[in-house]
Structures are given as structure tokens and as C-alpha cells.
Amino acid sequence: MHDFHYVDNRLFCEDVSVAQLAKKFSTPLYVYSRRTVLDHYLKIKRAFSALKPLICFSVKSNSNLSILKTLVAHGAGLDIVSGGELRRALRVKADPKKIVYASVGKTRPEIEEAIRCGILFFNIESLQELGVISEVATRLKKEARVCIRINPDIEAYTHRYITTGTLESKFGVDFQTARIIFLNQENFKCVRILGLHMHIGSQITQSGPFLSALKKVCGFIDELKKMGIGLQWLNIGGGLGIIYRQEQPQTADEYARAVLPILKKTGLKIILEPGRFIVGNAGILVTQVLYNKDTRARRFVIVDAGMNDLVRPSLYDAYHEICPLDNRRMLSSGSMKLSDVVGPICESGDFLAKDRLLPLFDNGDLLAVMGAGAYGFSMASNYNSRRRPAEVLVKGNRYYLVRSREDFDDLTRLERIVG
Ligand code: PLP
């Protein structure tokens, strides 16, 4: 499942001691296992091999250039949502013909740059956006390729902040709007509509919601066919859940088995946009215990990583396993007690774990926050004027600093003092 494991009670990433990395690069520190990233990518690729889909890694989940390069070098395309992510894709020399671009708020300059680059297509999210894409393409005298992102109005049974396929959410267009778009295609000059896109949410552990959404979308494809409208692509988005705690998410094989029959029937070229599934369990956040604090109500383990480094617990109440780098702590301690692992940020919502049975740690002990590879560093901020952490990529018995810790000058570099 992933390449973080204990050897003689010391946590290793592949063949490298995580404590050694913490000593060398300090904490907080993101550590990624390259082997795990590739293993997950290949799992999904193999599971869907009957259809030879284009797998576009979702850059937002982890946009580190070395992670992107690793995947691109193994044939992956990229799913992007901003001009910044397009720049990252180009930095790793991703093939523009394997880049798809979603987002409800693409700006004119972003659209122009993506058209000039020749990306595979935009996933359009509103009628107005399609109008703007048409306008920009006409001005550039170029053709813009698009897929219509359908909002199939399906409950994904995940956290409401990462539910994206119900009509309560801002994403995609409903079937009626899509119908109107297809029937009025000729009004959108310099635009070619190539297919449909859906992405109903993230951390979805069962195939049921995907199937329900696909049934609706495929029904619509049939309807279009009857109207003489043929498509080339069907992009089924990302969203596959992973194990953070004791979830039993569908495996890539189970997911493929569930959806392959319906996908095959469409006869369309298929795109997947996994993010979390590929990188979620391929990364950890290493942090150091600063203080222990007992109040009459709770025990707090105060660590040097906070919600600015990993916001998922604060934002989604997400669960991340906490593992000491030296597991003898867990095994030998007689003083296990329910504890909150909290950061140094001035917010009561700043926590990495709540109500965990943990031993009494010594100040300086190192902990791993597991499953931090997706939406970890990519959602990190400088809140409380904290420097964003360094990132290390492990490859077998070698390791590479793939992003340095920000320095204090980075925090103020773009500011100008006006008294
Ligand atoms: N595609 C789109 C359009 C998304 O918005 C997202 C994430 O929000 C993804 C793919 C990746 O989702 P996940 O990381 O759950 O696979």
C-alpha cells in the first residue's frame, strides 16, 4: 500500500531512515516515496488497461515538480486548474496534448495561455465561460477544444467540502444547460466540443456514486448520439478514496471492474484524473514534539507543524495517523493517554490529531503524520508568518531535497514598506 515501514522500530521511507532525513533537513518536513507514487499510478493504469485511458494526474493534490516529472516521465498527463499549474506542467515538459484544464473561474489570460500552448482541452464549467473561451479563441484565430463538465447531481457520500457533483455545488453544468450548449454549438466560434467531463468529489470509497453518475452521463451520451452529435472523449475525473484510518475503499481493480462495462459501451476515449489515490499515502509530514502540556481537561502534544503546513484536519476534520519515528515509544510506554496533537498556530482549530491514545513523548521526539502526500504541501500557507516546509523525495536508498524550506526573506520579499 505504501513504502513507509518500521525496521527495528525505526520508521523508514523505502530504504532511508526518516529520522536521518529529519536530522539533515530539520522539521516540519514532507517526505515522499517515489516508489509508492509510481506503484499507485501503475495500479490504476493496469486496472484500466483494457481501455488504455489517458491518466491525467491531478496537479492540485501535489504540485511538486519532481512528483509531476516522475509521473509525466511514465506517460501521465496532467489535470490542471490554473495558469500557475499550467506553468508547472510546462516546467516538467508535460505534453500539452495530455493536459486538461478544469476550474470554474478561468480568467481570460489563463485561457489565452492555455490555448496558445495547445492543451488537449478545457473542461468548461458554465455557459458564460464557454462564451469567453470562444471569444479568446476567435481573437487568437485558433481553435479551442473543450469538454463540457456535467454536474450529474449525485451524492458522493464524502465530506461536503469535497462533494462536487450535486447541484448545490458550483461545479459543472446540469444536463439541460449541456443540451442547450450542444444544440447551439455553432454560436461558439472557434470552439470544438469534444466530449464530456465529470468529477463528483474526492475521497469516495465506494463505486456506487461513480456508477450512478456514469449511468446518467452515458444516458446523455446516447441522447446526443440520437441527435447526431458524436463525441470523442469521456473524462470521468478523479475522486478515488484511500485509507487514512480504517476505511475500506474500493481498490483500483474493483473500481475498474465496476465501471469498465459502462465505459466500454460508450466507445469513447477515456480520461481519469486521480490525485489523492496516487500521492495520498505516498507522503508523510515529519514534525517534532516541542512541549507537552496537561490541562485539567486534556493533554496536548505541541509540535512544530501546524495547520499552515497541513490544513486537512482543521479544514475537513480529516484523520491522519500519528506514528513516532521511533516506535519503541508506542510499545514501551505505560502512560498512554488521550491526547490532542496541536501546532503552534494561534487558532484553536490548529490541530493535527484529536483524542488519540498516545504515550508521553519527550520534547524533541519525532512524529510522522501519515497520509499527507495529497492536499498537504499543496494547501500549505504562510499563516502566522511561518515558512513553508521543505520537501524530500526518496528513491530507494537515495533521497533528494526537492523543495527547500522557505527562508525568512521569502516571507517579505514581495512587500514594500509604506509608513
Ligand atoms: N479532477 C478535478 C476536476 C478535481 O477537482 C479534483 C479534485 O478536487 C480531482 C480531479 C482530483 O481528485 P482526487 O484527488 O480525489 O482524485
Domains and CATH numbers, the chain: 4-31+280-412 (2.40.37.10), 95-274 (3.20.20.10)
Best probe residue, ligand 1, of 56, 104, 202, 315 (max atoms within 8 Å of C-beta): 202
Query: Rounded to an integer, what distance in angstroms lies between the CA atom of residue 195 and that of residue 267?
Result: 12
User: Scanning the structure block, which residue is given the C-alpha cell 461513480?
Assistant: 210
> Which protein residue's CA is at the shortest distance from atom 10 of ligand 1?
238
75: nearest Cα among 49, 101, 50: 49
- Taking the centre of ligand 1 as the mean of its atom positions, its distance from the CA of residue 65, in whole angstroms, is 18
Active site residue 346: yes
Lining ligand 1 with CB less than 6 A are: 58, 60-61, 79, 102, 199, 202, 237-240, 273-277, 374
In ligand 1, the atom with minimum distance to the C-alpha of 202 is 15
- How is the chain split among helix, strand and coil, in percent rounded to 5? 35, 25, 40
Q: Tell me, what amino acid is at 83?
A: G
Query: What grid cell was written down for 177?
Result: 444547460
pLDDT in tens, the chain (419 residues): 789 999 999 999 999 999 999 999 999 999 999 999 999 999 999 999 999 999 999 999 999 999 999 999 999 999 999 999 999 999 999 999 999 999 999 999 999 999 999 999 999 999 999 999 999 999 999 999 999 999 999 887 788 887 888 888 999 999 999 999 999 999 999 999 999 999 999 999 999 999 999 999 999 999 999 999 999 999 999 999 999 998 899 999 999 999 999 999 999 999 999 999 999 999 999 999 999 999 999 999 999 999 999 999 999 999 999 999 999 877 666 678 999 999 999 999 999 999 999 998 999 999 999 999 999 999 999 999 999 999 999 999 999 999 999 999 999 999 999 99
pTM: predicted TM-score of the whole model, two decimal places: 0.97
- Taking the centre of ligand 1 as the mean of its atom positions, its distance from the CA of residue 198, in whole angstroms, is 10
- Taking the centre of ligand 1 as the mean of its atom positions, its distance from the CA of residue 159, in whole angstroms, is 14
Best probe residue, ligand 1, of 37, 55, 58 (max atoms within 8 Å of C-beta): 58
